[in-house]
Structure 1
């Protein structure tokens, strides 16, 4: 069974400052080594908003569809990927009297993933363990990129 993944980073900015950056999911290609494009649909981000994500690894390109399933400004944003049922999220925790923020990125597969996703990961992406290691590395890179973006704006 796929593993839940979690990576965190501390950012020298308030949760509100971090939220301004992290909630703009169309910027994900700036930070994520796998995401090439995020097309948000339905105007400003809200609960139920849908997105199309274009991902790339080497010469392999694939799209996924997702829907915002949890949204609490300055605290949490989460989206469920239609194709594999995983829930990806960013959680913001205030630190040091709200002057710094702990940003946590998670991939939750507690409901398991789809059979087609498992086959594609096995056949095209090097297997579950290899792919999860790559995802964790990518999550660290994503959080570092977000931190750079936020701290350069502060």
Structure 2
């Protein structure tokens, strides 16, 4: 069971939102702690078993983590484990649940396609590692809760912006 879970509704299609999340190289755009992510070992996308390196920062402290994708169900679920050296420190899950579309459609037939994203964090550090980390970084759970909220809010802005730009482009293109 996850130690933390944050959810947020996004007014953009689940497939678009999932694709943004799964493009881990963009995580630095949304996360207040992760500066950037690079794929490792020839990986170029989030598929089960793909590995990546994360470059993180909190104040003046910087560190590198390594990750491995453990689940990648397009449009629905992305999960990965994070390691510092050989030690597993966390597990992250992103669940994308599309809004249900009413049947029959409302008069006019217009339905905003949206989804709810749940971000979950599971602390996998040993008790010793957790105690050491708390001395250096402070309350990790509280910090991550705030960071998850900020990450989801930034993801929402990106996803809704991309979706609405795309919709305007299609509407503008069909009028020519």
Interval containing the TM-score (normalised by the shorter chain): 0.7 to 0.9
Aligned to 2:134: 122
Deviations 1:32-57 (A, max 9, x none): 00001111122232110001111111
Residues 1:15 and 2:19 aligned together = no
Between the aligned partners of 2:45 and 2:156, the Cα distance in structure 1 is: 23
Q: What corresponds to 1:139 in structure 2?
A: 148
Larger Rg: 2
- Following superposition, which runs of at least 4 residues in structure 1 exceed 2 angstroms of deviation? 82-85, 114-117
Q: Tell me, in whole angstroms, the C-alpha distance in 1 between the residues paired with 2:114 and 2:88.
A: 34
For residues 48 and 32 of structure 1, what CA distance do their matches in structure 2 show? Answer: 23
* RMSD (CA atoms): 1.7
- Give the TM-score of the pair, scaled to structure 2: 0.78
Residue 148 in structure 1 maps to residue 153 in structure 2: no
Q: Residue 142 of structure 1 aligns to a residue in which SS? A: helix
Q: After alignment, is 112-121 or 75-84 more displaced?
A: 112-121
Rounded to whole Å, the distance in 1 between the matches of 2:147 and 2:89 is 19
Matched residue count? 147
Deviation per residue, 1:12-51 (Å, 9 max, x gap): 0111121121111110111100001111122232110001
Distance 2:28 2:99 in 1: 27
Under a length normalisation based on structure 1, what TM-score does the superposition of the two structures give?
A: 0.88
Query: Contact 2:23–2:45 at 8 Å: present in 1 too?
Result: no
Tell me, which stretches of 5 or more residues in structure 2 are unaligned? 102-111, 164-176
Cα distance in 1 for residues equivalent to 2:129 and 2:148: 19
Give the conservation status (yes or no) of the 8 Å contact 1:95–1:101: yes
